[in-house]
Amino acid sequence: MDDLRVAERGAVSTLVLNRPAKRNAITLEMWQALPALLADLASDPELRVLVVRGAGAEAFASGADISEFERVRSDRATARHYSRVVEAADLALAAFPRPTIAMIHGFCVGGGLEVALACDLRFADRAATFGITASRLGIIYGLTSTRRLAGIVGPSHARDILFSARLVGVEEARAMGLVNMVCEPDALEAQTRAYARSLAELAPLSQRGAKLMLQHLLGEGEMTESDLLAFVDQAYDSEDYREGVRAFLEKRRPRFRGR
């Protein structure tokens, strides 16, 4: 769909929230489309890192599209359906099998912050602002997203963000742990892509294993401790492990293949 598009494919691929005229406000249709689009990207063996960004110059995403709420979130039944769709999209992004980076400029609010929190890392420019405005609308942020927010910024900061609905500047967001890197506006894309390319050269199995371990520790994902131990054993049997050791001994850069 046009409102969600893959801008480029390759070792570093880019997924764009593409409604710049609406500050990339996320519609129900976009939430519905996200899991299938992510599954398609995950099936690409060349993809090593996924960057998620908003189109235009004003926002990563200003939130869910409130203008459609009276139609798609009008009562208890439609609200429950809407929440299930959002949670499925959120979980699909959080479970994406390769590293994900939210590249954030401008507003990153509500549903936009929910998308950013589902990414592994968040890089932002100095003009970025963050917030969750549920308490201005009389709705309650979902359990999965609340757990993830608290896991990233801690329960005290999560309470502040959720209770107050205030917008947080980028330096405060970095102090909370919400943002991993702050860049000058004209350097955000270059620095994000440079970091993504550096990740793309490293061992995918190691990154995948780290992601699965962290998801398990945070109460996410479906893998048991036995599953994780089996994944560790598989890594020792992999071509990449043998290549990594050989490259170290031969003092050269390894060529990892993800198997």
pLDDT, tens only, 42-75: 999 999 999 999 999 899 999 888 889 888 888 8
**Residue 256: inside a domain:** no
Residue 93 has a pLDDT of: 96
Q: Do 186 and 86 share a domain, yes or no?
A: yes
Q: Do 54 and 177 share a domain, yes or no?
A: yes
pLDDT, tens only, 174-192: 999 999 999 999 999 999 9
**Residue 188: inside a domain:** yes
Q: Do 217 and 124 share a domain, yes or no?
A: no
**Residue 72: inside a domain:** yes
Q: Do 123 and 234 share a domain, yes or no?
A: no
Alpha-carbon torsion angle 9, 10, 12, 16, nearest 10: 0
**Residue 254: inside a domain:** no
Mean pLDDT confidence for 6-22: 94
Q: Do 187 and 237 share a domain, yes or no?
A: no
Domain count, the chain: 2
pLDDT, tens only, 235-248: 888 888 887 888 88
Residue 112 has a pLDDT of: 96
Q: Do 99 and 85 share a domain, yes or no?
A: yes
**Residue 257: inside a domain:** no
Residue 236 has a pLDDT of: 87
Q: Does the pLDDT value for residue 35 go beyond 80?
A: yes
pLDDT, tens only, 223-232: 888 888 888 9
Instruction: Considering only residues 172 and 64, tell me which one the structure prediction assigns the higher pLDDT.
Output: 172
Q: Do 170 and 228 share a domain, yes or no?
A: no
Structural domain harbouring 84: 4-199
**Residue 242: inside a domain:** yes
Residue 107 has a pLDDT of: 96
Q: Do 174 and 234 share a domain, yes or no?
A: no
Q: Do 143 and 225 share a domain, yes or no?
A: no
**Domain with 186 in it: what CATH number?**
3.90.226.10
Residue 6 has a pLDDT of: 94
Q: Does the pLDDT value for residue 258 go beyond 80?
A: no
C-beta separation of 148 from 94 below 8 A: yes
Mean pLDDT confidence for 120-142: 93
State the pLDDT confidence band at 222, using cuts at 50, 70 and 90.
Answer: confident
Range of lowest pLDDT (11-25, 74-88, 145-159): 74-88
Mean pLDDT for the chain overall:
92
**Residue 259: inside a domain:** no
Q: Do 159 and 187 share a domain, yes or no?
A: yes
Residue 241 has a pLDDT of: 83
Long-range contact pairs involving 144-148 (C-beta distance under 8 Å, separation at least 24):
144/87, 144/90, 144/91, 144/220, 145/87, 145/90, 145/114, 145/117, 147/218, 147/219, 147/220, 148/94, 148/117, 148/118, 148/218, 148/220
Q: Do 154 and 230 share a domain, yes or no?
A: no
**Residue 258: inside a domain:** no
Residue 168 has a pLDDT of: 96
Q: Do 172 and 44 share a domain, yes or no?
A: yes
